Amino acid sequence: MKIAIGSDHKGFIYKEQLIKLFPRIEWINVGCESEVYSDFPLYVKKVVAQIYNEKVEKGILLCGSGIGMTIAANRFKGIYAALAWNPESAKLSKQHNNSNILVIPTDFVSCSMAQEMIKVWLEAEFLGARYQERITMLDTF
């Protein structure tokens, strides 16, 4: 499985740790490369580009609050970025909303919690049916 992963400076440490915690995943690390201040939209665009170019099916973004990255990612057609705060919200984002990008707020969750969130998100399956109807509605905006 290939997954694009990106962070700004606030998510850098978690990004590096999470890559090591999931050795079976083929990570496409789009940056950033250090804890030096960086602008999150650059990394959102890089993760989205990996999905658009069909190099990956999913992405993970990490930053302090997760809010800006979620807003930025959801501006792109066909991107369903979900800001999750715990494993249950990560799981539901996939089951109910077919999220293809998981956004993790590193200022508010531990790295072990982030690891669990990724695990359940990857294991969850989209439930379709009425949930697909809602996504179809969103796609008409």
DSSP 69-96: HHHHHTTSTT--EEE-SSHHHHHHHHHH
* pLDDT of amino acid 1: 94
Q: Count Cβ atoms within 10 A of the Cβ of residue 20 and give its class: 0-12 exposed, 13-18 middle, 19 or more buried.
A: exposed
Known catalytic residue at 96: yes
Given the residues 9, 32, 96, 111, select the one marked as catalytic. Answer: 96
* pLDDT of amino acid 141: 82
What span, in angstroms and rounded, lies between the C-alpha atoms of 36 and 20? 21
Known catalytic residue at 9: no
Q: What is the CATH number of the domain that holds 47?
A: 3.40.1400.10
Given the residues 9, 32, 63, 111, select the one marked as catalytic. Answer: 63
Q: What's the number of domains the chain is made of?
A: 1
Tokens of 57: 């099916």
Q: 48 phi and psi, to 5 degrees?
A: -60, -40
List per-residue pLDDT tens for the chain, 141 residues long: 999 999 999 999 999 999 999 999 999 999 999 999 999 999 999 999 999 999 999 999 999 999 999 999 999 999 999 999 999 999 999 999 999 999 999 999 999 999 999 999 999 999 999 999 999 999 888
Q: 4 phi and psi, to 5 degrees?
A: -85, 140
Structural domain boundaries, residue 46: 2-138
